[in-house]
Amino acid sequence: MKLIDPMQKPPAIEVIARALIIDTEAEKVLLCSTKDKSRYYLPGGHIEFGEPVHFGLSREIWEEMGVETSAEKFSFLGGSENIFMQENERMHEINLFFRVPIGISSHKEIVSREEHIEFSWVSVADLAMIPILPESLGGMIKEWTKGKPQILWHDL
């Protein structure tokens, strides 16, 4: 067991709010990816200290897509804990997932307002072939798109 130096600040656990945006007619979900498409994830991002989760998710959607959302219409779906390496640093995050109705179909291209990411509509059937993070998310999305109102949690 590694002892923690009381003089050293421990690494932070990041809290991330993510939006499941579905075009139910086309059976597609909106995914965000890095420009090189090496990682896919649901839209959303970090919750700031003292910021209510719903407000933070609305803010992130606005910052990334320029789309206004109504936080009172968000539905909590579940969560996932994830530890991974990023730029040679070990990261630990808690992801909270919400169904976010925004009324946009998969026929509309979503243009990112941030230079390092882009958006694409992906068929639910194709999720297994995509490097989606956290890794448990693909299976969770499939369950949520079946219309089952169950809350899912995935541990490490």
74-89 confidence digits (pLDDT tens):
999 999 988 877 778 8
For residues 12-30, give the mean pLDDT.
92
| Both structure tokens of 103 | 């009324």
CA angle 51, 147, 121 (to 5 degrees): 70
- Chain Cα centroid distance, residue 61: 11
Query: Is residue 100 scored above 90 in pLDDT?
Result: yes
Structural domains in the chain, CATH included, are: 14-154 (3.90.79.10)
DSSP-derived pairing of the beta strands 75-86 and 152-154: parallel
Q: Whole-model pTM?
A: 0.85
Query: Is residue 5 scored above 70 in pLDDT?
Result: no
Return d(Cα 39, Cα 54) in angstroms, integer: 24
For residues 89-99, give the mean pLDDT.
90
**Residue that has been written with the tokens 């291209």 in this structure:** 109
Taken in order 101, 102, 103, 106, the sign of the CA dihedral is: negative
CA angle 74, 79, 133 (to 5 degrees): 105
Q: Which residues contact 11 (CB under 8 A, 6 or more apart)?
A: 90, 92
